[in-house]
Amino acid sequence: MDVTLSTITKSFGAVTAVDDLSLNIHDGELIALLGPSGCGKTTILFSIAGIYKLNQGQILFGGKDVSTLPSQQRNVGVVFQAYALYPHMTVFDNIAFPLKLRNESQSEIKRKVHEMAELTEIAELLKRRPAQLSGGQQQRVSLARALVRNPSVLLLDEPLSNLDARLRTSMRAEIKRLQRETGVTTILVTHDQVEATTMADRIVCMNKGTIAQVGQPFDIYDSPQDTFVAGFIGSPPITFIQGDALQGMFSVGDVQLPCHTSLVGDATLALRPEFIELGCSRDMNSFEGVVSEIEPMGREILYHLNTPLGKLTALETQGRPSYTLNQPIAFSWSNDKALWFDSTGKRVTA
Amino acid sequence: MSQNYRTWPILIFLTFMSLILFLLYFYFLLDTVTNQAPGTIWPSEFTLEHWRFLIEPIEGRQSIWRVTLNTIIFASSVTLIVVFLSSTAAYALSRLNFPFRSAFLGGILVLHAFPSVTLLIAIFIILQLFGLYDTLQGVILVITALELPLGIWLMKGFYDTVPWESEMAAMTDGASRFRVWWQIMLPQVRPGLFALGIFAFLSGWGSYLFPLVLAPSADVQVLSVYLSSLIDSLGRTDFSLFKAVGLFYMLPVVIFYLFTQDKLMNVFGGAAKG
Query: Which of A75, A79, A90, A101 is the best residue to mutate to test the B interface, defined by the most B CB atoms within 10 Å of its own CB?
Result: A101
**A56-61 and A64-65 strand pairing:** antiparallel
Q: Distance between CA A80 and CA A87 in Å, rounded?
A: 14
How far lies A98's CA from each of A121, A150, B173, B271, in Å?
20, 10, 5, 27
Q: Distance between CA B40 and CA B62 in Å, rounded?
A: 33
**pLDDT for position B57:** 83
**Is B234 a residue whose pLDDT tops 70?**
no
Chain A residues with CB within 8 Å of chain B CB? 46, 49-51, 70-78, 80-82, 84-88, 97-98, 101-102, 129, 131, 145, 149
Cβ contact, residue pair A131, B274, below 8 Å: yes
Distance from the B168 Cα atom to the nearest Cα atom in chain A, whole angstroms: 7
Q: For residue A32, list its beta bridge partners.
A: A188, A203
Q: Considering CB atoms only, which of A75, A88, A145 is closest to B187?
A: A88
Measuring CA to CA, which residue among B80, B216, B222 is closest to residue B147? Answer: B80
Q: Distance between CA B115 and CA B137 in Å, rounded?
A: 22
Q: Distance between CA A224 and CA A215 in Å, rounded?
A: 10
**Phi and psi torsions of A315, nearest 5°:** -115, 130
CB B71 within 8 A of CB B222: yes
Distance from the B227 Cα atom to the nearest Cα atom in chain A, whole angstroms: 44
For chain B, what is the mean pLDDT? 87
Peptide bond into B252 cis (omega under 30): no
Q: For residue A243, list its beta bridge partners.
A: A267
Contacts of residue B174, Cβ cutoff 8 Å, sequence gap at least 6? A72, A73, A75, A98, A101, A102, A149
> Which residues of chain B neighbour A86 with C-beta distances below 8 Å?
166, 169-170, 184, 187-188
How far lies A88's CA from each of A113, B34, B184, B270, in Å?
18, 53, 8, 17
Cβ contact, residue pair A72, B174, below 8 Å: yes
Cβ contact, residue pair A80, B179, below 8 Å: no
**Phi and psi torsions of B255, nearest 5°:** -65, -45
**Is B272 a residue whose pLDDT tops 50?**
no
**Phi and psi torsions of A36, nearest 5°:** -70, 165
Q: Distance between CA A180 and CA A250 in Å, rounded?
A: 48
Q: Distance between CA B159 and CA B161 in Å, rounded?
A: 5
pLDDT bracket for residue B2 (50, 70, 90): low
**Phi and psi torsions of B59, nearest 5°:** -50, 130
Contacts of residue B31, Cβ cutoff 8 Å, sequence gap at least 6? B43, B50, B239, B240, B243
Query: Which of A97, A102, A162 is the best residue to mutate to test the B interface, defined by the most B CB atoms within 10 Å of its own CB?
Result: A97
What is the torsion angle, in degrees rounded to the nearest 10, for the CA atoms of residue A42, residue A48, residue A50 and residue A51? 0
pLDDT bracket for residue B266 (50, 70, 90): low
**Phi and psi torsions of B265, nearest 5°:** -60, -25
Interior CA angle at B222 toward B217 and B225, to 5°?
A: 70
pLDDT bracket for residue B274 (50, 70, 90): very low
> Which residues of chain B neighbour A46 with C-beta distances below 8 Å?
168
Amino acid identity at B78: V
CB A205 within 8 A of CB A214: yes
A155 → chain B, closest CA residue: B172
**pLDDT for position A283:** 67
Distance from the B29 Cα atom to the nearest Cα atom in chain A, whole angstroms: 45
**pLDDT for position B34:** 87
The 3-state DSSP class for residue A321 equals coil
pLDDT bracket for residue B273 (50, 70, 90): very low
CB A316 within 8 A of CB A300: yes
**Phi and psi torsions of A331, nearest 5°:** -145, 160
Q: Please, what sign has the CA dihedral across residues B99, B105, B108, B114?
A: negative
Q: Distance between CA A48 and CA A160 in Å, rounded?
A: 20
Measuring CA to CA, which residue among A152, A75, A148, A153 is closest to residue A114? Answer: A148
Q: Distance between CA B174 and CA A104 in Å, rounded?
A: 13
Cβ contact, residue pair B274, A87, below 8 Å: yes
> Which residues of chain A neighbour B175 with C-beta distances below 8 Å?
72, 97, 101
Distance from the A84 Cα atom to the nearest Cα atom in chain B, whole angstroms: 5
Say which DSSP state A280 is in: P
Q: For residue B143, list its beta bridge partners.
A: none
Say which DSSP state A206 is in: E
pLDDT bracket for residue B128 (50, 70, 90): very high
> Which residues of chain A neighbour B174 with C-beta distances below 8 Å?
72-73, 75, 98, 101-102, 149
pLDDT tens per residue across span B78-96: 999 999 999 999 999 999 8
Longest dimension (CA), chain B: 77
Length of chain B: 274
> Is ipTM beyond 0.90?
no
pLDDT tens per residue across span B181-195: 999 999 999 989 998
> Which residues of chain A neighbour B166 with C-beta distances below 8 Å?
84, 86
Distance from the A128 Cα atom to the nearest Cα atom in chain B, whole angstroms: 13
Q: Considering CB atoms only, which of A87, A88, A101 is closest to B173?
A: A101
Q: Distance between CA A206 and CA A19 in Å, rounded?
A: 11
Report how many Cβ contacts below 8 Å link chain A to chain B. 67
Cβ contact, residue pair B168, A74, below 8 Å: no
Mean pLDDT of the B51-72 span:
87
Note the pTM of the prediction, 2 decimals.
0.80
CB A46 within 8 A of CB A108: no
Cβ contact, residue pair B165, A87, below 8 Å: no
**Is B262 a residue whose pLDDT tops 60?**
yes
CB A254 within 8 A of CB A267: no
> Which residues of chain A neighbour B185 with C-beta distances below 8 Å?
none
Mean pLDDT of the B101-119 span:
88
Cβ contact, residue pair A74, B273, below 8 Å: no
Distance from CA of residue A6 to its chain's centroid?
21
Say which DSSP state B173 is in: T
> Which residues of chain A neighbour B168 with C-beta distances below 8 Å?
46, 49, 51, 71, 78, 80, 84
Contacts of residue B274, Cβ cutoff 8 Å, sequence gap at least 6? A87, A88, A129, A131, B187, B188, B190
Q: Distance between CA A187 and CA A41 in Å, rounded?
A: 10
Q: For residue A267, list its beta bridge partners.
A: A243
pLDDT less than 70: residues of chain A: 282-284, 350
Cβ contact, residue pair A49, B172, below 8 Å: yes
